[in-house]
Structure 1
Amino acid sequence: MTDSADSPSFRLAYVPGVTPAKWVRVWEQRSPDVPLTLLQVEPAEAGDVLRDGRADAGLVRLPVDRTVLSAIPLYTETTVVVVPKDHVITAADEVTLDDLADEVVLHPLDDVLGWDRPPGEPAFERPATTADAIELVAANIGVLVVPQSLARLHHRRDLTYRPVTDAPQSSVVLSWPEEATTDLVEDFIGIVRGRTVNSTRGRTRPLPEKAGKTEKPGKPEKAGKTEKPGKPEKAGKAGKAEKAGTSGRARKPAAGTRAAGKSPRARSAGAAKSAKRGKPRRRS
């Protein structure tokens, strides 16, 4: 078993032209304890490798046997024609199949475009592999129509390529045996679909530091701040105000006192004036 508790591992098959590096890097970051082994296989062998259990999943090209294999579409490639750099086709930015009608179009035995007969004139014999066909193109024997990734894989300085707008295309999928959908397969499905590490779909592996951060028990300091009993200082101010009001009313003179008489200073001034008025005049 690939996900046994003793020594878990994950085996990923892939066909030429497919580059699994970006997904492998994510796997190594998320599952450093589970080694991922890459297994390159020829397109014609990919189905047997998955059915026989020699790989847990594979990045392969359509078609696949959907009776026993599951498949998730990833992308569809641009189809190009590979020609020598001095070929007349290089004068155009893109071509059609009609533009290849007078060309010898090579049809290797490992062709992945799935057509019965390519356009143009057939070669005397079919090359065994795409790599062999590339060599024939370099020798000016013919031209080759392939997915762009294969043109890049077999790049030569003396060759170039142009897109073919109406040619068949090759689609790449993630495939695995339907009856062997393990937790590790689910993890890799999540990676190719761009799910985050904390996604609720499939098996997740939350990072320890993040898990620690999510544990937020009631904070004592905030709980303490919410306890606001009657503030003594405010109550004291209210008491002072009440006392000040009471003593002020006690010290206020009665209204009748001001009306009935004057202050001592006013009374003495009045007495002095009346004494002046009462003094007898001196006779001459």
Structure 2
Amino acid sequence: MTGSEESPSFRLAYVPGVTPGKWVRIWNERLPDVPLDLVPVSAAEAPAVLREAGADAGFVRLPIDRTDLSAIPLYTETTVVVVPKDHLVAAAEEVTVEDLADDVVLHPLDDTLDWDALPGRPAIERPATTADAVELVAAGIGVLVVPQSLARLHHRKDLTYRTVTGAPASRVALSWREEATTDLVEDFIGIVRGRTVNSTRGRAGAPADAKAKDKRPEKGGGARQKPAGAKTAGKTSGKTTRSRSGGAAGTAKRGKPRRRS
């Protein structure tokens, strides 16, 4: 780690569709003396921003080249198709990619889905951005398949969206430069993973501590098993054990219970 090189602030990059608000709020509660600066970037630019130290960590869309970047996958988004409200698709709860065979499916240059083959009919040209593609959908030029968060980001009153099955999905991850895994980066990783303020931050000593706690019940269980083992030994001794028990009982109670019975 390079904890000694921590900056007085923490820069967090994030791609369109990701809403880092809840993590930023927790950061401000736990580290009020370390400002967190948000750096909005496109999905295509995010890896380069991290490599060039334009941000300490960032939310990216996979896949990315992980040659010098670490990444923790966080969640997979639902894929949806954006259509005009009077489109036939709007009458269904969800559709398949085959249901889009007769539609012009727009393919923006900043598309975040890893298609093997785009469904439907191709457009004459590719829109430059997802925002441009949404405008074309509103104009009745075609439909657009995107992660649900982008459909929400570019919401319009005249458009709606439906879940698409059989389409690739976009995965969101937290990423940072491997050589710059500072203590502040570890702090943010802990926040994203849901660790409490009193828990460890996943550093070198944490796994050993966890293992030590896990072994404690096993040691206690071993101690409780010794009396059970002694009983087993008594049973194997047969009459000898009963004789000792009877003698002990007669000595303690002077044999009175036996005469009364």
Match of 1:199 in 2: 199
2: CA distance between counterparts of 1:138 and 1:28? 40
Match of 2:92 in 1: 92
Q: Which letter does structure 2 place at the counterpart of 1:91?
A: A
| Matched position secondary structure for 2:86 | coil
| Matched position secondary structure for 2:44 | helix
Match of 1:58 in 2: 58
| Matched position secondary structure for 1:164 | strand
Paired positions, count: 202
Match of 2:147 in 1: 147
2: CA distance between counterparts of 1:58 and 1:130? 21
| Matched position secondary structure for 2:26 | helix
Q: Which letter does structure 2 place at the counterpart of 1:18?
A: V
TM-score (norm 2): 0.75
Q: Which letter does structure 1 place at the counterpart of 2:173?
A: V
| Matched position secondary structure for 1:95 | strand
For structure 2, list consecutive stretches of 5 or more residues without a partner in the other structure: 204-261
Within 5 Å, which residues of 2 pair with 1:1-284? 8-202=8-202
Q: Which letter does structure 2 place at the counterpart of 1:15?
A: V
| Matched position secondary structure for 1:8 | coil
| Residues 151 and 123 of structure 1, relative CA distance in 2, 3 Å threshold | same
Give the conservation status (yes or no) of the 8 Å contact 2:5–2:182.
no
Give the conservation status (yes or no) of the 8 Å contact 1:9–1:35.
yes
Runs of 4+ displaced beyond 3 Å = 1-5
1: CA distance between counterparts of 2:143 and 2:18? 22
2: CA distance between counterparts of 1:130 and 1:196? 37
Match of 1:223 in 2: none
Give the conservation status (yes or no) of the 8 Å contact 1:183–1:202.
no
Q: Which letter does structure 1 place at the counterpart of 2:79?
A: T
Give the conservation status (yes or no) of the 8 Å contact 1:3–1:184.
no
The root-mean-square deviation of aligned C-alpha atoms, in Å, is: 1.5
Deviation at 1:114, TM superposition (A): 1.6
Give the conservation status (yes or no) of the 8 Å contact 1:113–1:169.
yes
Give the conservation status (yes or no) of the 8 Å contact 2:8–2:34.
yes
Give the conservation status (yes or no) of the 8 Å contact 1:50–1:57.
yes
2: CA distance between counterparts of 1:25 and 1:17? 18
Instruction: Give deviations 1:127-166, integer Å, cap 9, x for gaps.
Output: 0000000000000000000000000000000000000011
Q: Which letter does structure 2 place at the counterpart of 1:115?
A: W
How many percent of aligned residue pairs carry the same amino acid?
78
Give the conservation status (yes or no) of the 8 Å contact 1:15–1:46.
yes
Q: Which letter does structure 2 place at the counterpart of 1:199?
A: S
TM-score (norm 1): 0.69
Instruction: Give deviations 1:178-213, integer Å, cap 9, x for gaps.
Output: 11100000000000000001112347xxxxxxxxxx
For structure 1, list consecutive stretches of 5 or more residues without a partner in the other structure: 204-284
Instruction: Give deviations 1:40-74, integer Å, cap 9, x for gaps.
Output: 00111101000011100000100122110000011
